[in-house]
Amino acid sequence: MKDLYQVYYKRWLAIVTVFLLLPLILYSRLYFLRPPSTNEERILFEGIVYQRQVYSTPRPQIIHLIAVDLTKPGVRVLVTPAKATVDYEQPQARTTSEFVREFQVQLAMNANFFFPFRENTPWDYYPHSGDGVNLVGQAISNGTQYSSAERSWPVLCFLNDNRAQILESGDCPQGTQMATAGNQVLLKDGTPVRLAQSSGKDKPYGRAAVALNEDGYKLWLIVVDGKQPFYSEGVTMAELTEIVKELGAHTALNLDGGGSSTLVMATPNGSTLLNSPIHNKLPMNERPIANHLGFYANAYQAPTIPLSSSKGLPSPEG
């Protein structure tokens, strides 16, 4: 009887141990799925170049930069359209990967601030994918406005010819095809804009921003990972401003950040994260958000080098 009791006790102990260790194992696995903490630069698509910058001071930071040539053939912009309901056009929350797959864009990032939002536990949060949300600031998709302009929410506007502009007024001109709003202009005419918050309240967080050159045909997307100790702990708004200034940008706009900060690209095997978003305190876990800034682009064709002019290669004759 005693031996039987010990057998049952050991089985129970093993089950409890597995039950307790499983979340830790799954949590640890997410950490190993994050992009490596190494610098990288590569061409993703025609007209779209990616760069990852890694810093250890003043705290661990991983900065993801995308340069988009809006004049490149095949490059087109898409802001998430609202879904028509019985009464009006209602934005529905999606993760950025879901947006990439549904609309078959090649690249996308998060966009407008939104509400309602809560994040209490991994099982108690809002919105889930498909839930209705409200955007803050102007949003336009395919020429149709579905979120109204607000004066205190500057906007990124894309015109018919793909030229982009950032307007502090928060209201895009007539004929705008795509638009998404942020909460703070970071650069104006190449000069940093004085930030509204005091330096004591400017804490490091995950960030997302867009920046333009002077003619509006070169666009940068900036995503900084945050709230991940010893990996990437985010940047302040002042530091984000310095990042876009060093790019040589003419104007720049801060978008929704924190756990919303997400950058996704399409691959032949499906969508893949370029950064490490954190949602419900879980890394590599995407937050369903209100809308996205996406890009269509052609596959990159590497230039071919004739064998006769290639260095280090033997000639066909041997």
Task: Determine the pLDDT at residue 195.
Answer: 78
167 contacts 159 by C-beta, under 8 angstroms: no
What is the reported pLDDT for 28? 60
pLDDT of residue 4: 58
> Is pLDDT at 147 greater than 70 in this prediction?
yes
pLDDT tens readout for residues 276-298: 999 998 999 999 999 999 999 99
* Residue-wise pLDDT tens digits, 199-220: 578 999 999 999 999 999 999 9
Q: Name the pLDDT band for 16 (thresholds 50, 70, 90).
A: low
Question: Averaged over 104-124, what is the pLDDT?
Answer: 95
Three-state secondary structure along the chain?
A: CHHHHHHHHHHHHHHHHHHHHHHHHHHHHHHHCCCCCCCEEEEEECCEEEEEEEECCCCCEEEEEEEEECCCCCCEEEECCCEECCCCEECECECHHHHHHHHCCCEEEECCCEECCEEEECCEEECCCCCECEECCCEEECCEEEECCCCCCCEEEECCCCCEEEECCCCCCCCCCEEEECCEEEEECCEECCCCCCHHHCCCECEEEEEECCCCCEEEEEEECCCECCCECCECHHHHHHHHHHCCCCEEEECCCHHHCCEEEEECCEEEECCCCEECCEECCCCCECCEEEEECCECCCCCCCHHHCCCCCCCCC
Domain ranges of the chain: 1-32, 36-300
Q: What tokens were used for 88?
A: 């009006």
Per cent of the chain over pLDDT 70 is 83
pTM of the model: 0.88
**Average of per-residue pLDDT values in the chain:** 90
pLDDT in the model for residue 256: 98
Confidence of residue 20 (pLDDT cuts 50, 70, 90): low
